[in-house]
Structure 1
Amino acid sequence: MMNLDNIDQSLLKKAESGDATAQFELSMLLPLEHRQHISLLTSAAQQGHEQALLCMARYEQRQKNFEGTMKWLNQAKDLNVPRAYFLLAEIFKLGEDVPLDLEQSIEYYKQAADLGETDASFELFKIYKDGIGVRKNKEIAEKYLNLAKQNLHIEAAAIEF
């Protein structure tokens, strides 16, 4: 187990004083099993640190704590974190602990894409290309494919449409 003595002391002092960025960075240096990993991450998330919010959502998801997952994702969404919208879209698309809701999923994908989330743009391309929960629309599909390409999505780059 990692010893906090090996950690940069200025980072440790900032984290102990409540600096969310320092708490997040310190938590990332510690293994998940370390007794302070989750408490540091939680503290950073509670202060609205975007990456910490997403990490806590993933942690809760792995713990099969749906309420915790949604709590952290909704807090991140309220801060307009693009990845939060994408992860919410995935949950509604798959019906993970919520009723399957393609309309809600597509809305979250659109919000994520509007905020620059590349994976959301690519998902919307596939949705409109194949007519998943919507009427097929080549023009809209092409719009989202081009957006994904502009944002350097690897799969999108290889597609001629």
Structure 2
Amino acid sequence: MWHQKQMFEQLINEQVEPEKVEILKQQFQQALNGNSEAMVEIALFYKRVELFDGMHYWLNAAINHSDSGGFFELANSFFEGLGVEVSEQRAFYYYEQAAKQHHPDAMNNLADMYLNGEGIEIDEGAALAWFLKAATAGVVEAMYTLGIMYEQGIGTEIDEDKAFTYYEMAAKGGDSEGLYRMGMIYFQGELTRNQSYEQAMKWFQCAADIFHVDAIYNIAYCYENALGVEKSSEQAIRYYKQAALLGDGASMLKLAELYEGVRPQEAEKWRQAAQQD
């Protein structure tokens, strides 16, 4: 059924934007011809339209060709329970197969499972080893986690210089948590770095640009208290509002506090919003 070309073409004509139909037709033909990467692409199409039997048909075809992407997506399906019962053990197995072929995200997910004891007993040393491999492959989430592990001595001795290095790598790779952590390192003078509100603001701003709500709150706090910037109630309110609109209750209370005695109705509005948060 799932390898029938006519049925597939009818489905994509109903489900897909016209400009993408021809690409999917070509990928389907490539999959029929034995191209494992095309098999994974067809499986992902079936995933998007929530036809999970079709997804599993093509993922199983892909892993019969030892395709790392096929192993990775099959692991995701068992981890999330897409068309199958959730099975951390089977997810672990398939992530491991993909990771052994140097699939970056599979290496990171396998490390997570070792760290959290999902589908396998907790093994912090194995987690560290796989996070290192994933970080080397460019996975910014792995870099950030390595920062935590070296800072807290998880699976290794505490090494504040290495912690800082990996947090910085994650931040420079665009990871929002890495950017925020760099801000906090300078804000509080941690990991042997001198306190610098100016540096903290730089990193908070980068994190705020990708909607990290705690970073937005901290920018507002710095403007309110003249930390690394000139005091500006206007800018403080602007950033507290941004964070509040993203659902941050602490920012709502700050707005209520700043408007108290100046704009009572506005203060009450934010106070009520915080209570409902």
Q: Give TM-score, length-normalised by structure 1.
A: 0.74
Match of 2:132 in 1: 146
Asked whether the 8 Å contact 2:77–2:84 carries over to 1, the reply is yes
Structure 2 residue runs of 5 or longer lacking an equivalent are: 1-15, 150-277
Q: 2:24 aligns with which of 11, 22, 38?
A: 38
Matches within 5 A, 1:1-161: 32-34=17-19, 36-158=22-144, 159-160=146-147, 161=149
Higher relative contact order by CA 8 Å / sep ≥ 6: 1 or 2?
1
Distance in 1, matches of 2:23 and 2:95, equals 31
Structure 1 residues 42-100: Cα deviation after superposition (integer angstroms, max 9, x where no partner): 11111122332121011111222222111111111111111110100010011111011
Distance in 1, matches of 2:108 and 2:93, equals 14
Structure 1 residues 87-123: Cα deviation after superposition (integer angstroms, max 9, x where no partner): 0001001111101111111000000000111101111
Q: How many residues align?
A: 131
Distance in 2, matches of 1:103 and 1:114, equals 17
User: % of aligned pairs identical?
Assistant: 24
Distance in 1, matches of 2:109 and 2:117, equals 12
Pair member with larger Rg: 2
Distance in 1, matches of 2:80 and 2:26, equals 31
Q: Aligned AA for 1:61?
A: K
Q: Give TM-score, length-normalised by structure 2.
A: 0.44
Distance in 2, matches of 1:88 and 1:46, equals 19
